[in-house]
Structure 1
């Protein structure tokens, strides 16, 4: 197939098709509307079904129905639309249905704007909807990485019978880069005994629901879910580190901000500051290992986000009081620059107070 120059939203859609996605239900909202438009053309060509729902709420409930048949299904939205899907996402988690949900985040709160932001972190990592649940969250930093993570997302969804979120931002959705897709889609067709495709008289009828009016049996369901979440925490955390072997100070950033932070770290090292980068790839489960490996020798951590400070809470929990954790963020769709991150890193290394509001 060779390398193709594509927009991020289109890469997500094509990667999903390559990963075996057959059904897409969605609703256009900037800055992810190109994803919906691409799927409208591409998915029928691949033998799948595209349907533009009348609302985000309708779309997520259509995902629920399709997921119950065992097919690979997805939806996508951006921050306000993603918020509307929360009830349905909780239903998917409670009913243990695999699906891929893409959020290309934009500035908020409220309608905000269409600029990139990372202020949906709490919503995607802490449940978002009602009840005790978590969802695996993958955060790509490049368009090529999207291709790998989309495939992993569907595999994780099937392996654990869970919805999975791919979190990007408006910058990732709108940028263009050269990407290369695998020559052949590698999709393993597996029989799923729980699907509602009919027993044909062989066994009892199958029912998929998150409703359980008996308190004791609902508690048992919750205990089962918590055991599953514990298994995901143990087995599915992913991260990348750069220059961490000899570093004293660590920048922690994910997604597109991590790409900017790399150059700030490189500049700091040239200027004599032993800096490293920790990039969480899974936001849930949040990767503890790079902090376990560094926190006893670290002189400080700097969490950088396009938010008022959300991932920084997980960084502090992971560091567990062993070293100082500072935060630098820009909000409202403002993207932190390499120079700003470098400046805050130098302040961190000098023992000063980082300007937490980014102004």
Structure 2
């Protein structure tokens, strides 16, 4: 890691992608992530990469589909309405088993909404926004440093499992500035070899590779789906990430992700000053969700308290973890309103 530099969130993710070996970026500008697209437009030519501004998000995701067929590290970024437009293409990419990285800097909705931070895309990200039985690995970073680290990891796990990966940020993370330490550039010669399936040209030395999600035989398509589901089980087994904060003696478990996870830590400190033993459980992988890891607090905790910038979406996964054994409270703001520590604390004390 080099010395820390002050950088904007969207630009931090972009630079981290370049250092992870991404040399193909296709996207379309949309607030509050347009700076990521602009950064790629400037930096890609400097490192012999390819940047292309597509005519729409639909075009961009299909360019990602085609580029990923070559086995190279590819990426796009967007915000909520644009990510909605990409869902059909993402389903195709998942079905074709293509490693690729997506960034959704979430803003207020539904519909066109506004350009303020929100977390209303949780269902879309974790339950599959497109058609069919597929999953995305979804990361929810809380800081720019974590976003940088998870960007590199996203490309690694995408290659490992041949699956699309999503970094689910929000407008606050995308627009804030923080000091960040970047990793060195990867040696491109050491990146995974996908020559066994990628479409790189036969050079008349092998049979042509075929990359598709299409199978007109229902039994054949079922076998493909079984292969996907077996892979998802491996991901669940190996890739869950989460943070536990002051939970050793906690009576109240605050569950929050992304930038709200940072705010929740302040709330836990405020609660302890008032004699309430609170701690924070922060899922980092939103899928696979750490159900069992959260469930281990069922015996210890008296209350679970979910905080989100939404009407309540992750709370459903929290309730699955708790399985009715303890009460689950909720506080949320919508439309791009960021809850303050004070108002979250007030709701917590009301529930306690």
The aligned residue for residue 240 of structure 2 is 237
Alpha-carbon contact 2:159-2:192 (below 8 Å) kept: no
The aligned residue for residue 215 of structure 1 is 218
Cα distance 1:234–1:277, how it changes in 2: closer, same or farther (>3 A)? Answer: same
1:314 and 2:320 aligned: no
Deviation at residue 186 of structure 1 after TM alignment = 5.7
Query: 1:129-179: per-residue Cα shift (whole Å, max 9, x none)?
Result: 000111100011000111110011001100000000000000000000111
The aligned residue for residue 24 of structure 2 is 23
Find the aligned partners of 1:184 and 1:102 in 2 and give their Cα distance. Answer: 20
Deviation at residue 184 of structure 1 after TM alignment = 4.2
Find the aligned partners of 2:329 and 2:197 in 1 and give their Cα distance. Answer: 47
Cα distance 1:312–1:186, how it changes in 2: closer, same or farther (>3 A)? Answer: farther
Following TM superposition, the consecutive aligned residue runs of length 4 or more in structure 1 with deviations greater than 4 angstroms are none
SS where residue 178 of structure 1 aligns? strand
Deviation at residue 292 of structure 1 after TM alignment = 2.6
The aligned residue for residue 250 of structure 2 is 247
Find the aligned partners of 1:66 and 1:348 in 2 and give their Cα distance. Answer: 51
Deviation at residue 185 of structure 1 after TM alignment = 3.2
Q: Which runs of 5+ in 2 are unaligned?
A: none
Cα distance 1:204–1:282, how it changes in 2: closer, same or farther (>3 A)? Answer: same
SS where residue 268 of structure 2 aligns? helix
Find the aligned partners of 2:13 and 2:179 in 1 and give their Cα distance. Answer: 13
SS where residue 262 of structure 1 aligns? helix
TM-score, normalization: structure 2? 0.97
Alpha-carbon contact 2:139-2:168 (below 8 Å) kept: yes
Query: 1:206-251: per-residue Cα shift (whole Å, max 9, x none)?
Result: 1101111111000100111111111111111100010111001110
The aligned residue for residue 348 of structure 1 is 351
The aligned residue for residue 114 of structure 1 is 115
SS where residue 45 of structure 2 aligns? helix
| Structure 1 segment 247-266 matched on structure 2, within 5 A | 247-266=250-269
Find the aligned partners of 1:325 and 1:335 in 2 and give their Cα distance. Answer: 21
SS where residue 165 of structure 1 aligns? strand
Query: 1:181-213: per-residue Cα shift (whole Å, max 9, x none)?
Result: 124436532221100112333332111011111
TM-score, normalization: structure 1? 0.95
Alpha-carbon contact 1:251-1:345 (below 8 Å) kept: no
Deviation at residue 278 of structure 1 after TM alignment = 0.3
Alpha-carbon contact 1:24-1:73 (below 8 Å) kept: yes
1:330 and 2:330 aligned: no
The aligned residue for residue 96 of structure 2 is 95
Find the aligned partners of 2:286 and 2:104 in 1 and give their Cα distance. Answer: 13
SS where residue 294 of structure 1 aligns? coil
Deviation at residue 288 of structure 1 after TM alignment = 1.8
| Structure 1 segment 166-315 matched on structure 2, within 5 A | 166-185=167-186, 188-192=190-194, 193-315=196-318
Deviates more, 1:326-335 or 1:282-291: 282-291
Find the aligned partners of 1:75 and 1:221 in 2 and give their Cα distance. Answer: 26
Find the aligned partners of 2:8 and 2:14 in 1 and give their Cα distance. Answer: 10
Q: Which runs of 5+ in 1 are unaligned?
A: 350-359
Alpha-carbon contact 1:246-1:274 (below 8 Å) kept: yes
Alpha-carbon contact 2:16-2:183 (below 8 Å) kept: no
